[in-house]
Structure 1
Amino acid sequence: MQRAMRLLETVAGHEYGAPAKQLARETGLALPTAYHLLRTLVHEGYLRREKGLFFLGEAAERLSSSGAKQKRRSTVADALAHCRDSIGVPVYYAMYREGEIEVMCVSDTPGNPAVEEWADFRETGHAHAIGQCLLSQLDEEARRDHLDRYPVQSLTPYTVRDDRSLLRRLERIRRMEPATERQEYALGTVCAAIPITVGTTAATMALSLPSHQADRLLPAVQRLQREVGRHLGSIALSISI
């Protein structure tokens, strides 16, 4: 296994490919051993051979892509954990992608737990700050398309009542301003979300608090805005996840 990994790493260092003899020499392997391992790696799809030269295959490229994605996710998770600890609240990161609300990462603690997803976040964007913030970044056609697929429904006595009321609210949210909701998704919880736009992708970071701490909501979201400004580069990495 270790010898095969050495071969893969060595091949990866040759953008224009390398012959077996060179790979054997650079890895310190006997030529028959190198040949055997190279044939196995080609058979498994980790390498490909063209005109006597070896290149990384599709399987190795998938591994590389997966590793890069994991690294980006780890970077985003670290940024969220920093915001969580700095402000003392659960922090969420979400994107609007291919017509769906996707919560990409949540960072909380036992003392400050995240909101329980008792109703699918994708289907209830009208009721929570994450969804409202993402929908406010879309154009009118995309908003109406979303609401055609996921109509407004009452989750609590405080939930917005119909599409028209929601659309009016979304229009009032000024560009780059936070969206807030108070007990619209879950009784006993207030939330705020700030927009993050990278290229044409709508994204958001949000926080939640128990409703008896509602007076902390605006100061907390202002701190979150400052933290996002410091970590925007790390957060933007996840756009390509």
Structure 2
Amino acid sequence: MERAFDLLEHLADAGGELALSELAEASGLPMPTAYRLMRTMVKGGYVRQQPSKRYVLGPRLIRLGDGATRLLGTWARPMLARLVDDTGETANMAVLEGDEVVYVAQVPSRHSMRMFTEVGLRVRPHSTGVGKALLAQLPDDAVRALVARTGMPAGTPRTLTDPDALLAELAVIRSRGYALDDEEQEPGVRCVAVALPGSPAPAGFSVSGPSGRLTGEVVARVGPMMLRLAEEFGRELTARTS
């Protein structure tokens, strides 16, 4: 079973499509073993085989994945509420699914002027705080491959549209610990985000609000605080899933 999960993870990491030879090479399994495991997962609906003989992730995983992300979002809501209490701004949880960031939970700010991101919304990761926080967890070559597939369109004049500039920003995020969307997704909106350690799927928290409230001084306070809460939630996740 562990080897089957390993093959699924290699398939997901490659964008959801690989040939049998590529799966065997990535996993280190003999071709006959990889073939037997893949045939079992095809029968179960977890994997499909295309006419080209290449394997792709199957529809049954969608139901499992949706259920897992909903549960993760439910678990996160008390922590998101704490973020709203501590910062006064809207708090979100998002996960990296394939090449996109998907928002799975939100607790809104109590301010009359506040940020709303629809739960279920899918966005490219390069221009969002939480997207950059999650990209910073990947190797640079994986980030280059991802943005080559998605492109890097500009949402605002401040959006990073060059892969080298994005990689330089990710290096800063890894050193600092938290990511910043400085009016890169929407004009006048700033976002602070952190990745969640110990999450079963790449996930992160973000806090977003008007740039006039999320000033540089506020960001410098909120970023380290979010890191501490993310570590606390990571320990909770480990306890829940162990």
TM-score above 0.5, yes or no: yes
- Tell me the secondary structure at the aligned position of residue 174 of structure 1: helix
Question: C-alpha distance in 1, partners of 2:188/2:241?
Answer: 32
Conserved 8 A contact 1:156-1:186: yes
Cα deviation, residue 153, structure 1? 1.3
Change (3 A) 1:98 1:128: closer
Q: Give the percent of matched residue pairs that are identical in Structure 1 and Structure 2.
A: 22
Change (3 A) 1:91 1:69: closer
Conserved 8 A contact 2:103-2:117: no
Q: How many residues align?
A: 173
Is residue 111 of structure 2 the alignment partner of residue 148 of structure 1?
A: no
Question: C-alpha distance in 1, partners of 2:173/2:208?
Answer: 19
1:198-225 superposed Cα distances (whole Å, 9 cap, x missing partner): 2774321111121112132221222222
Cα deviation, residue 194, structure 1? 1.2
230, 233, 238: which one pairs with 1:231? 233
Is residue 209 of structure 2 the alignment partner of residue 209 of structure 1?
A: yes
Change (3 A) 1:168 1:225: closer
1:124-178 superposed Cα distances (whole Å, 9 cap, x missing partner): x111111111111112232122102211111111111322221222233225710
Mean Cα deviation higher: 137-146 or 226-235: 226-235
Partner of 2:123: 122
- Tell me the secondary structure at the aligned position of residue 156 of structure 1: coil
Conserved 8 A contact 1:75-1:234: no
- The unaligned stretches of length 5 or more in structure 2 are 1-62
Change (3 A) 1:204 1:89: same
Cα deviation, residue 101, structure 1? 1.8
Is residue 197 of structure 2 the alignment partner of residue 194 of structure 1?
A: no
Cα deviation, residue 93, structure 1? 1.2
Conserved 8 A contact 1:147-1:163: yes
Question: C-alpha distance in 2, partners of 1:142/1:100?
Answer: 14
Partner of 1:104: 104
Amino acid at match of 2:180: T
Conserved 8 A contact 2:108-2:116: no
Conserved 8 A contact 1:181-1:192: yes
- Tell me the secondary structure at the aligned position of residue 205 of structure 1: strand
Cα deviation, residue 185, structure 1? 0.8
Partner of 2:59: none
Question: C-alpha distance in 1, partners of 2:137/2:219?
Answer: 21
Conserved 8 A contact 1:76-1:237: no
Change (3 A) 1:197 1:98: farther
CA radius of gyration, larger in? 1
- The alignment's TM-score, normalised by the length of structure 1, stands at 0.60
Question: C-alpha distance in 2, partners of 1:72/1:173?
Answer: 24
Question: C-alpha distance in 2, partners of 1:128/1:179?
Answer: 9
Amino acid at match of 2:230: V
- The unaligned stretches of length 5 or more in structure 1 are 1-61
- Tell me the secondary structure at the aligned position of residue 212 of structure 1: coil
- The alignment's TM-score, normalised by the length of structure 2, stands at 0.60
Amino acid at match of 1:114: M
